[in-house]
């Protein structure tokens, strides 16, 4: 009889451990699963001062070659290392008469660059003045220079644990992204 009680206890223990493991797998699969990509329009021009005069602005800014930007970014190692579940957006803008005017937004995901503004995990906002230099210089060097000059804003919109899990393959680039 004592043997049967010991075997039953072992079986119950194994079942409990398996249930805990299964529960953990289900929990983490929902917690860290890629969420739906929701495209959102670029914002209207924003005033950098208290006066809201941006709606009537005459914008004479000559946009850089954004087609070349997509080709250049496609060869960048950091972009190539972005996981399939990533939601990183690179937003580009210029300033005209104290108004921030949004030019383009690119989603970086699974080594691809798609012109799309999304609700992102990581947002990198940089002035369009740096676009022309990307063909000759490394993206991380330009990001670092823009950060030092105050021309860059980085924003993380997910929890640290989700960030670490989802972007674990990009640890080599964490300094570049300012993480």
The boundaries of the domain holding residue 69 are: 38-177
Whether residues 80 and 16 fall in one domain: no
Whether residues 16 and 101 fall in one domain: no
Q: What is the CATH number of the domain that holds 97?
A: 3.30.1050
Whether residues 5 and 81 fall in one domain: no
Whether residues 7 and 95 fall in one domain: no
Whether residues 104 and 20 fall in one domain: no
Whether residues 23 and 49 fall in one domain: no
Q: Read off the pTM.
A: 0.74
Whether residues 4 and 76 fall in one domain: no
**Pairing between β-strand 112-115 and β-strand 88-96 as defined by DSSP bridges:** unpaired
Whether residues 146 and 171 fall in one domain: yes
Whether residues 68 and 115 fall in one domain: yes
Whether residues 139 and 104 fall in one domain: yes
> What percent of the chain shows pLDDT beyond 90?
17
Which pLDDT tens digit goes with each residue over 109-118?
Answer: 888 889 989 8
The 10 Å CB-count burial string (b at 16+, else e) for 7-34 is eeeeeeeeeeeeeeeeeeeeeeeeeeee
How many structural domains is the chain composed of? 2
pLDDT in the model for residue 125: 92
> In the predicted model, what is the mean pLDDT of the chain?
82
Q: Which two tokens stand for residue 69?
A: 């930007």
């Amino acid at each position: 009889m004592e043997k049967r009680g010991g075997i039953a206890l072992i079986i119950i223990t194994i079942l409990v451990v398996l249930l805990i493991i299964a529960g953990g797998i289900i929990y983490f699969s929902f917690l860290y699963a890629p969420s739906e990509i929701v495209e959102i329009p670029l914002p209207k021009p924003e005033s950098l001062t208290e006066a809201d005069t941006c709606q009537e602005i005459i914008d004479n800014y000559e946009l850089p070659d954004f087609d070349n930007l997509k080709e250049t970014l496609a060869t960048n190692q950091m972009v190539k290392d972005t996981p399939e579940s990533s939601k990183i957006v690179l937003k580009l803008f210029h300033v005209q008469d104290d108004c921030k005017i949004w030019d383009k937004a690119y989603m970086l995901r699974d080594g691809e660059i798609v012109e799309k503004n999304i609700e992102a995990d990581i947002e990198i906002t940089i002035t369009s003045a740096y676009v022309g230099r990307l063909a000759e210089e490394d993206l991380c060097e330009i990001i670092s220079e823009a950060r030092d000059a105050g021309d860059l804003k980085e924003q993380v919109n997910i929890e640290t644990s989700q960030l670490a899990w989802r972007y674990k393959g990009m640890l080599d680039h964490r300094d570049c992204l300012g993480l």
